[in-house]
Amino acid sequence: MGERGAGGSRRRRSGPRRPSAGSPAEGEPEREAEPPRGGPERAAEPPAESDPDNCGDLRCHKVQESLLSSSSGYSNYRGILNWCVVMLVLSNARLFLENLIKYGILVDPIQVVSLFLKDPYSWPSLCLVIVANVFALAALHTERRLAAGSISENVGSVIHACNLLTILCFPALVVLVVSSVTPVGAVFALSIYTILFLKLFSFRDVNKWCRARGRAKAARVRPASGLKKANGEVVPSGVCYPANLTYKDMYYFLFAPTLCYELNFPRSPRIRKRFLLRRLFEMLFFIQLLVGLIQQWMVPTIQNSMKPFRDMDYSRIIERLLKLAVPNHLIWLIFFYWFFHSSLNVLAEVMQFGDREFYRDWWNSESVTYFWQNWNIPVHKWCLRHFYKPMIKRGVSKWTAQTAVFLASAFFHEYLVSVPLKMFRLWAFMGMMAQIPLAWLVGRFLRGNYGNAAVWISLIIGQPIAVLMYVHDYYVLNYEGSQ
How many helices and strands, by DSSP H and E, does the chain display? 19, 0
How far is CA 105 from its chain centroid? 34
- Which amino acid, 45? E
d(CA 97, CA 117): 32
d(CA 176, CA 423): 10
Catalytically annotated residue among 141, 160, 341, 413: 413
The DSSP code for 28 is P
d(CA 447, CA 454): 10
Q: Exposure pattern of 85-95 as b/e (b: 16+ CB <10 Å)? A: eeeeeeeeeee
d(CA 65, CA 73): 9
Nearest to 371 by CA among 356, 360, 382: 360
Nearest to 426 by CA among 407, 398, 451: 407
d(CA 228, CA 125): 57
160 catalytic, yes or no?
Answer: no
Strand partners, 353: 267
* Start-to-end C-alpha separation, the chain: 119
Alpha helices (runs of H) in 178-241, residue ranges in sequence order: 183-220
SS3 190: helix
- By annotation, the residues acting in catalysis are 413
